[in-house]
């Protein structure tokens, strides 16, 4: 059974930084692209970033490019998202999601999410 | 970027009803379209991919159709657990984009 467990969320001041992690189990982690999707309180789903199975290819939404960095450690079956230069607009639940292929964009399994709150 | 427009944004229906949600892409995406269900406080759940293929374990009262730019999600014989928010998502190209969601409420 695929399991994705996010961690690292919390309260951070504007301009601050945070590192999210997503621990994966139940599948061959390196064989699948992974994605971060966020959801602001009461709002819809918004794609943030994706990374290929090997980690060699990364993709970012325009709103986070240059501030967020996606990475993965396939030896630890863990996906990361480094969040820098945070603003109130980054307040959201951040979900990690598994793709169906090594470089795929179709998402089939999601974690429960971790809440990031940016406030002074 | 490919914009995904869902309608309606909210919908009221009764148990046993059939409802249809539409999703329009700003450009052709062939059949690279998925539907997700999200209950309050929960993670999204995959329902349909490739516009019309049911994810394993999804009840057969869910169905999807469409190709190109216009897609529909139909839920027949609504059950109490079907009242949730539904999102379409295109996975034809980056950036991945979602529709704004359709909230399905009990009448």
Token pair, residue B65, equals: 């159709």
The answer to whether the beta carbons of residues A118 and A90 sit under 8 Å apart is yes
Judged by CB atoms closer than 8 Å, whether chains meet at B43 and A110 is answered as yes
Instruction: Check B43 against A44: CB less than 8 A apart.
Output: no
pLDDT exceeds 80 at position A103: no
Instruction: Tell me whether A44 touches chain B (CB under 8 Å).
Output: yes
Length of chain A equals 120
pLDDT digits (tens, 9 = 90+) for A3-38: 999 999 999 999 999 999 999 999 999 999 999 999
Which residues from A are below 8 Å from B46, CB to CB? 107-110
pLDDT grade for A104, boundaries at 50, 70 and 90: confident
First to last CA, chain A: 40
Pairwise CA distance, residues B61 & B69, whole Å = 23
Q: Which residues of B touch A (CB under 8 A)?
A: 32, 34, 36, 38, 42-46, 49, 55, 87, 89, 91-101
Q: Which residue from A47, A37, A33 is spatially nearest to A100, judged by alpha carbons?
A: A33
In the block, tokens 């993709």 appear at A59
pLDDT in tens, chain B (107 residues): 999 999 999 999 999 999 999 999 999 999 999 999 999 999 999 999 999 999 999 999 999 999 999 999 999 999 999 999 999 999 999 999 999 999 999 99
Q: Kindly state the helix (H) or strand (E) to which residue B106 belongs, with its residue range.
A: strand B102-106
Q: Does A27 lie at the interface with B, CB-CB under 8 angstroms? A: no
Residues near B74 by beta carbon (within 8 Å), at least 6 away in sequence: B18, B19, B20, B21, B62, B63, B64, B65
Is the model's pLDDT at A102 over the cut of 90?
no
């Amino acid at each position: 059974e695929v399991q994705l467990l996010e961690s690292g969320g919390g309260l951070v001041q504007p301009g601050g930084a945070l590192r999210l992690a997503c621990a994966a189990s139940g599948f061959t982690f390196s064989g699948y692209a992974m994605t971060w999707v966020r959801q602001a309180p009461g709002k819809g789903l918004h794609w943030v970033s994706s990374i290929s199975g090997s980690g060699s290819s990364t993709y970012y939404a325009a709103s986070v490019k240059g501030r967020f960095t996606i990475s993965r450690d396939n030896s630890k079956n863990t996906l990361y998202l480094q969040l820098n230069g945070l603003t109130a607009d980054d307040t959201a639940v951040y979900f990690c999601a598994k793709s169906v292929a090594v470089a795929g964009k179709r998402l089939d399994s999601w974690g429960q999410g971790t809440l990031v709150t940016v406030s002074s | 970027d490919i914009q995904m427009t869902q309608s309606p944004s909210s919908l009221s229906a009764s148990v046993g009803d059939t409802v249809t949600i539409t999703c329009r892409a700003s450009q052709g995406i062939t059949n690279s379209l998925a539907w997700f269900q999200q209950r309050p406080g929960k993670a999204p759940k995959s329902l349909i991919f490739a516009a019309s293929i049911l994810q394993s374990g999804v009840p057969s009262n869910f169905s999807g159709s469409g190709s190109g730019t216009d897609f529909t999600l139909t839920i027949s014989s609504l059950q109490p657990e079907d009242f949730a928010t539904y999102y379409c998502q295109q996975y034809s190209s980056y950036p991945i984009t979602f529709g704004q969601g359709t909230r399905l409420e009990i009448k």
